[in-house]
Chain A
């Protein structure tokens, strides 16, 4: 066999081994590498209270309520299966809106609610100009 072909086979074997190892590592990482818990995960895994975690999902429509002190905000995070009530004291990002993605950093409470000390807005992959978005909302509200 020519040395060139021998090297080609060796390199091919090495690449297969590397890819296999990487896939194994990735699938093992799958749960650890998740950036946040969804409400369903959090309820299933019984995340311990008092541990700093992230909770992510959609802000349920019509659930944002502001307390009279002007800084406390309450809303419900949902993944369309489970819901978790969240309390947060502070300033939320501009993109924090009802029916859009959110990641809350904080701790679960013994009563099953979540107290956040930081709120991040999650943007989705849809990009469109305001006119198009406005028309989409109009057609959606017509359907209702």
Chain B
């Protein structure tokens, strides 16, 4: 493993970086989200077909991206845990799970609210919608599994394997609109460019970056909380042994 990742393997060194970084990520992300949502609600024009409901995109797309990025993070951390026994990896994976589940839920709910006026239905079992719902359930399963493991101790490996295998769903979500005919529209933003007009598109990258920074802040806070919890537990165990 590259040395630059090993540097963060030390929890004490991690904490000395994470503690000052958290407020920067939190406030920076929060400000960007507020700015993007205000522009998205009041500055950008409506869509020629969808009308005002296009504005749901400024929440829906970042939420979908973070839901998927979150599980990718869990999978990478789980691999590091399984292969290199990285002491912080399982902490990071557990810290990602709850905000990841939250963003997957936000994506599903905001999409449903958009689907009703646009498609004429709250929910349809098409490839994209179903695979995103599966991601949400995978998150719930991961949270249950990893918290049950942490209570019994030493059972982290099962949730790490679950985290790696669950990553299959990520490319399925991404390619669902290409592989299968779906009700959900195809990709608007690809490597080649965007089929969203610039006047509607511009707050979206700001919102996406803002939500991502907020996500990072929450993950760092949860990691610190989990590390502190482990420390308390270790101290209590030592005290009861004395």
Chain A residues within CB distance 8 Å of chain B: 4, 7-8, 11, 14-15, 18-19, 22, 26, 29-30, 33-36, 38, 56, 92-97, 100, 103, 118-134
Q: Pick the residue among B45, B124, B171 that contacts A131 (CB under 8 A).
A: B45
CB contacts under 8 Å to A, within B83-98, are: 83-84
What is the count of residue pairs linking A and B with beta-carbon distances less than 8 angstroms? 121
Interface of A is mostly: mixed
Is B83 in contact with A103, judged by CB distance below 8 angstroms?
A: no
Q: Pick the residue among B50, B179, B180 that contacts A123 (CB under 8 A).
A: B50
Question: Please, which residues of chain B bring their CB within 8 A of the CB of A122?
Answer: 119, 183, 185
- What separation, in Å, do the CA atoms of A92 and B117 have in the docked complex? 11
Interface range, B side: 35 or more
- Looking at B8-16, B23-31, B196-204, the stretch in contact with chain A turns out to be B196-204
- Distance in Å from the Cβ of A10 to the closest Cβ of chain B? 8
Is B186 in contact with A125, judged by CB distance below 8 angstroms?
A: yes
Is B200 in contact with A128, judged by CB distance below 8 angstroms?
A: yes
- What separation, in Å, do the CA atoms of A95 and B195 have in the docked complex? 19
Is B186 in contact with A18, judged by CB distance below 8 angstroms?
A: no
14 A-B residue pairs with Cβ-Cβ distance under 8 Å, sorted by A, are A7-B84, A14-B164, A35-B124, A36-B183, A38-B181, A93-B120, A95-B118, A120-B121, A120-B183, A123-B118, A124-B185, A125-B196, A132-B197, A132-B199
- Distance in Å from the Cβ of A119 to the closest Cβ of chain B? 7
* B145 within 8 Å of A (CB atoms): no
What 1/0 flags go to B174-216 for Cβ under 8 Å of A? 0000011111011110000001110111000000000000000
Closest 9 CB pairs of A and B: A93-B120, A133-B48, A129-B45, A128-B197, A127-B196, A35-B126, A125-B188, A33-B180, A130-B48
* B148 within 8 Å of A (CB atoms): no
What 1/0 flags go to B142-169 for Cβ under 8 Å of A? 0000000000000000000000110010
Is B200 in contact with A129, judged by CB distance below 8 angstroms?
A: yes
**Nearest B residue to A15 by beta-carbon distance?**
B164
* B79 within 8 Å of A (CB atoms): yes
